[in-house]
Structure 1
Amino acid sequence: MVRAVLIGLGLAAAAVAVVHTAVAGYVARRLVAPRAPKVFAPVTIVGDTVSVPTTVESLEPGTYGLRLDDGTHVMVGEVVRRDGDRVVRSVLARPDDLRDGVSIAAWTTQNIDAPEDVGPTRHVSVPLRRGGTADAWEIGDPAAADGRWTIHVHGLRSSRHGALRSAPATTDSGWMSLVVSYAGDDECAPADSLPSSLGTREWRDVDDAIAYAIGRGAREIVLVAWSMGGTIAMLAVERSTHRAAVTGLVLIAPALDWTRVVENAVTRARLPRSIASSSMRVLRSRIGARALGLIESVDARALTWVGEGRPGPRLPTLIVHARTDPVVPFSGSVAYVARHPDAELVAFDATGHCNEANQEPERFRAAIAGFLGRLPGR
């Protein structure tokens, strides 16, 4: 009887272990998977208002966008009223030829339609060491910038449009703005939509963008990085052969400690904390990386700049981060600033992830403009 009980317990433990591993693999896959297709739904535009489905995102305060299924962009403002399962918001900008009525659109935080809305724009291609090119926007007047460039790096499962939100602050400050794409991001063709490597592969493309800017006359370069773009920026500064040209960092809700990010995601999903460490083991194993479609394994635990083992760059750094960010914990930015005297943190009360520019645009732009104005220059 005892033997039967022990066998039963052993089988139960094995079953639990299998389930635990499966859940960890699922979490790892969700972490690095390409972005799912945008969700399009009917919206009703009437004059200067639009009715959209009620979601957590569409109820957020601030300025956002609707991307219609034909590519048209509509800028929307604050909530006007709730109407059952719909929310009515103000329309701030709409194309002249857009008629009232029902359209199909996707909600987006991308509240700037095109780089031309920021300043004079060149659509350029950045040569990549891995072959081919990456599309980028070059915004501003190179002659007036006098060698001062900013490179804007978007986050995980996003695109250049997401990073475009920081370009007005840098362009209006007289700096060139290069808004870049990179391996596996939202702009890649479906065949190239590889899983993210959390920055360990993507940083090379940003390094190539640094080389491109230097070739265009850049003498001072500030990396302006969003979310996972913060990881990419830190790796580029650590490893780039052009790192001497980087004179500052602006980091928006930056992922500076992936252990915190993963543990936060697991906690919010009400899963056991042990799932976080197991999912990171999946990522750094060869078998796990192969199963996830990764080109190379990823040691997420090593992607941290808030502890003692991996010092951050000695560069003037501005961090903009909301205290209640649900995706990248604010505590990581606090810990980073505590260890780096060259870094300053501007805390926001924005809701959601990377919504600082959407909800407090004037303060957001002022923080970046002030930081650029305080850089010593060359």
Structure 2
Amino acid sequence: MKAQRHAGSGRGVGTRGSTLADAAMIAGVGAAAVGALGLAVVATVARKVVVPARDRPSEARIVRIDRSAGTIELISTPDTIVPGRYGSWVTRRAAYVQLGDIVEVRERTVVRTLLGGDIEALRVGQEAEFSGWFFRRPEELGLPSEEVLVPTPLGPAPAWAIHPEAGQSSRWAVLVHGRGTTRSEALRAVPSFRNAGYSCLLVSYRNDGDAPPAADFRYALGDEEWRDVDAAIGWVREQGAADVVLMGWSMGGAIVLQASRRTSHPELLRAIALDSPVIDWVDVLQHQARENRIPGLVGRVALLAISRRWGRLLTGQATSIDLARLDYVANAADLALPILLMHSDDDGYVPAGPSRALALARPDIVTFVPFTVARHTKLWNYDPERWTAAVSDWLEELVPLPPGH
């Protein structure tokens, strides 16, 4: 089926664009924003896309702590007022606490239950980063795990291997976290895969703070990170894997989709699961530009900067990013594996439009499970029963690859 280009995508962005068109647009930026100053703004915007942030911005602040009642009061934000179980980093990740149900929503604050973590380290006035991780390490799930090293092209990358109760399986799930997070993000999915009989490998990849960094210390938005996931597929193959499911969150979704198309082990791959995935980076980056009130022309030239050779002088990238190759709606016809796609319509960071477009383009392979209210990568946190049922039911319907296929 020939996929149709979905509305909202940036036509002409990618490695196949016209140099003359680039030059005309850059000239427009120079005229509109006084030459060098305009390019400096473009460089700042473009670098925010590809440079890993050392500290994630804090969305909230602690207003009150009641340890006897086991509650915490936070400034209200779109994330802190969503029901469910979450984690919160405070004091620039010096402490971590687990948060539960909402007790009360006030005019500008929200009161939630404290479930565990570094509660004694909490202080009024601390900034709080709201997280969907909930679990930080495998032992918090009560499961035995093994710390392993995956030999990636850049060097050994740490990963967790967790097996089902019956022991190591020939069916594996390779779980890939999103941008600005670590493999802890994927721990929420382990029980579902483990109960279905899968061994799990929770991987790290270049520039995530655990794996060896790239030489330029720049994200490639999946266009290079897939190589580390492919190395992980090779590692589980050496452990006896005969059937592999890939799962990714946010940018991790873009990474596993790219890995599925470019892997050196295609015969092992059985299916792909995606949670709040980036299906089209142009759509995401245009959305972020609008949210941050970045002038449209500046945003468009920033997209060109990260995808053209000349832009490397502004961004510090070693290689340009092929944004056209990372548009999985435009390239939907190239996808072949069964896909479970879960996305919240009010994601707030990665719009769900491209996910819906992919589901419409490839109904033969995509099982689309829409959420509302859940926000970005917090689907499990908001409704763990529905999330778990969606994953478990989908895994149950997958037919294992035949031996020796």
Provide closer, same or farther for how the CA distance between residues 284 and 100 of structure 1 changes in structure 2, counting only shifts above 3 A: closer
1:99-152 deviation digits (Å, cap 9, x = unpaired): 48637674322111311233221111111123x211111112385453111011
Provide closer, same or farther for how the CA distance between residues 63 and 241 of structure 1 changes in structure 2, counting only shifts above 3 A: same
Q: Does structure 1 conserve the Cα–Cα contact (< 8 Å) formed by 2:145 and 2:163?
A: yes
Q: For residues 242 and 34 of structure 2, what CA distance do their matches in structure 1 show?
A: 55
Partner of 2:50: 32
Amino acid at match of 2:149: S
Post-superposition offset of 1:337 = 1.4
Partner of 2:398: 375
Post-superposition offset of 1:329 = 1.6
Q: Which of these residues, 327, 334, 338, is aligned with residue 304 of structure 1?
A: 327
1:202-221 deviation digits (Å, cap 9, x = unpaired): 11111011011111111111
Partner of 1:153: 176
Q: Which of these residues, 71, 75, 83, is aligned with residue 49 of structure 1?
A: 71
1:286-322 deviation digits (Å, cap 9, x = unpaired): 2322432222111223311102x56342111100100
Q: Which of these residues, 326, 339, 344, is aligned with residue 367 of structure 2?
A: 344
Q: What is the TM-score when the length of structure 2 is the normalising length? A: 0.81
Provide closer, same or farther for how the CA distance between residues 138 and 12 of structure 1 changes in structure 2, counting only shifts above 3 A: closer
Secondary structure at 2:333's aligned position in 1? Answer: coil
Provide closer, same or farther for how the CA distance between residues 101 and 64 of structure 1 changes in structure 2, counting only shifts above 3 A: closer
Secondary structure at 1:187's aligned position in 2? Answer: coil
Structure 2: where are the runs of 5+ without partners? 1-26
Q: For residues 259 and 37 of structure 1, what CA distance do their matches in structure 2 show?
A: 24
Q: Does structure 1 conserve the Cα–Cα contact (< 8 Å) formed by 2:216 and 2:316?
A: no
Post-superposition offset of 1:349 = 0.7
Provide closer, same or farther for how the CA distance between residues 105 and 304 of structure 1 changes in structure 2, counting only shifts above 3 A: same
Post-superposition offset of 1:200 = 1.1
Provide closer, same or farther for how the CA distance between residues 362 and 266 of structure 1 changes in structure 2, counting only shifts above 3 A: same
Q: Does structure 1 conserve the Cα–Cα contact (< 8 Å) formed by 2:29 and 2:38?
A: no
Q: Does structure 2 conserve the Cα–Cα contact (< 8 Å) formed by 1:45 and 1:102?
A: no
Secondary structure at 1:199's aligned position in 2? Answer: coil
- Shifted more, 287-296 versus 219-228: the winner is 287-296
Q: For residues 358 and 371 of structure 1, what CA distance do their matches in structure 2 show?
A: 19
Secondary structure at 1:126's aligned position in 2? Answer: strand
Partner of 2:150: 126
Q: Which of these residues, 33, 41, 58, is aligned with residue 16 of structure 1?
A: 33
Q: For residues 122 and 285 of structure 2, what CA distance do their matches in structure 1 show?
A: 42
Post-superposition offset of 1:182 = 0.2
Q: Does structure 2 conserve the Cα–Cα contact (< 8 Å) formed by 1:45 and 1:100?
A: no
Post-superposition offset of 1:282 = 0.4
Provide closer, same or farther for how the CA distance between residues 133 and 45 of structure 1 changes in structure 2, counting only shifts above 3 A: farther
Partner of 2:237: 214
Secondary structure at 1:366's aligned position in 2? Answer: helix
Q: For residues 199 and 321 of structure 2, what CA distance do their matches in structure 1 show?
A: 33
Partner of 1:246: 269
Post-superposition offset of 1:76 = 0.5
Q: For residues 252 and 193 of structure 1, what CA distance do their matches in structure 2 show?
A: 28
Q: For residues 28 and 275 of structure 2, what CA distance do their matches in structure 1 show?
A: 48
Post-superposition offset of 1:154 = 0.9
Provide closer, same or farther for how the CA distance between residues 371 and 168 of structure 1 changes in structure 2, counting only shifts above 3 A: same
- Shifted more, 48-57 versus 313-322: the winner is 48-57
- Shifted more, 81-90 versus 23-32: the winner is 81-90
Provide closer, same or farther for how the CA distance between residues 34 and 140 of structure 1 changes in structure 2, counting only shifts above 3 A: same
Provide closer, same or farther for how the CA distance between residues 146 and 110 of structure 1 changes in structure 2, counting only shifts above 3 A: closer
Q: Which of these residues, 123, 138, 158, is aligned with residue 102 of structure 1?
A: 123
Task: Tell whether 2:81 aligns with 1:81.
Answer: no
Q: Which of these residues, 295, 315, 324, is aligned with residue 337 of structure 2?
A: 315
Q: What is the TM-score when the length of structure 1 is the normalising length? A: 0.87
Task: Tell whether 2:219 aligns with 1:196.
Answer: yes
Structure 1: where are the runs of 5+ without partners? 1-9
Amino acid at match of 1:14: A
Q: Does structure 2 conserve the Cα–Cα contact (< 8 Å) formed by 1:185 and 1:193?
A: no
Partner of 2:10: none
Secondary structure at 2:123's aligned position in 1? Answer: strand
Q: Which of these residues, 257, 260, 264, is aligned with residue 287 of structure 2?
A: 264
- Alpha-carbon RMSD across the aligned residues, in angstroms, is 2.9
Provide closer, same or farther for how the CA distance between residues 12 and 289 of structure 1 changes in structure 2, counting only shifts above 3 A: closer
Q: For residues 145 and 58 of structure 1, what CA distance do their matches in structure 2 show?
A: 38
1:317-356 deviation digits (Å, cap 9, x = unpaired): 1001001222222110111112221111000013421111
**Percentage identity across aligned positions?**
30
Q: For residues 272 and 146 of structure 2, what CA distance do their matches in structure 1 show?
A: 24
Q: Does structure 2 conserve the Cα–Cα contact (< 8 Å) formed by 1:350 and 1:360?
A: no
Q: Does structure 1 conserve the Cα–Cα contact (< 8 Å) formed by 2:30 and 2:38?
A: no
1:162-214 deviation digits (Å, cap 9, x = unpaired): 22222222122221111110001143589979221101111111101101111
Q: Does structure 1 conserve the Cα–Cα contact (< 8 Å) formed by 2:287 and 2:351?
A: yes
